[in-house]
Structure 1
Amino acid sequence: MHNVGIVVESLDEAISFFTELGLTLEGRATIEGEWAGRVTGLGSQQVEIAMMVTPDGHSRLELSRFLTPPTVADHRNAPVNALGYLRVMFTVENIDELVARLCKRGAELVGELVQYEDSYQLCYIRGPEGILIGLAEQLDNK
């Protein structure tokens, strides 16, 4: 997999949030023209994108803000059991501290922070613009 894409209204806010989560901004650009519209099927388009890279350097998250054509649907507040895109999950360290930091930046815990057997602590949060993010901390099996 090369990347996962998420469409946002505020690219700066999304970059800031995912930077707090530990991702690094790899680059930012405007994609436009007839060639881009041939890929997406949207015709002529102008899209601001930011490519974020995970700390291990293996995965990317592409954040997009459509200037033209305008967005046509909004799925940001869909519940966890909605059809289609659900969430992106990140492996993290010190999940309690990270959730507290993200909540100070406006994120909201969806349910509860729970422990799955002796393996993981898990939770879902809603980040900027209601984007659903999963967090998982692997527990030491001592």
Structure 2
Amino acid sequence: MTKQSQQSKCYAAALKMLMRREHSKLELRQKLNLKDFDDAVINGSISLLVEQKYQSDERFSEAFILMRFNQGKGPIKISMELKSRGVSKFDLTLFNWFELAKDVKSKKFGDSKFLDYKEKSKQKRFLESRGFGFDEINQAFQ
């Protein structure tokens, strides 16, 4: 296969992935690697997609944060997931994490005001596992 035809096949494959949903550069690179494209070809295709504004890590992070927020995930978990997808610059300040922690807690456990220590600890661990920080968790119990 010529370099030119491999380049266009790689570009088409990446574009097809981006039509389904936003991907980070790292995700695209990993998926294209699985399809046995050359590193140079992959880098060229991704660069072209970025240049044409079809791929944007910023747009990916915005969509990803919104999706995870709507799933009731906290900022700690979301930022770890974004970093594992190769995105290091993102903005989590657009959302009210305190309100989300309170909503997630009441959806899962109800709005009981009087909790024993064991039940309160269980609920706090749950919120922690969802990726909420100390401040958001404590605020959810007030």
Query: TM-score scaled to structure 2, two decimals?
Result: 0.28
> Which is bigger in relative contact order (C-alpha 8 A, separation at least 6)?
2
Structure with more of its chain in helix, by fraction: 2
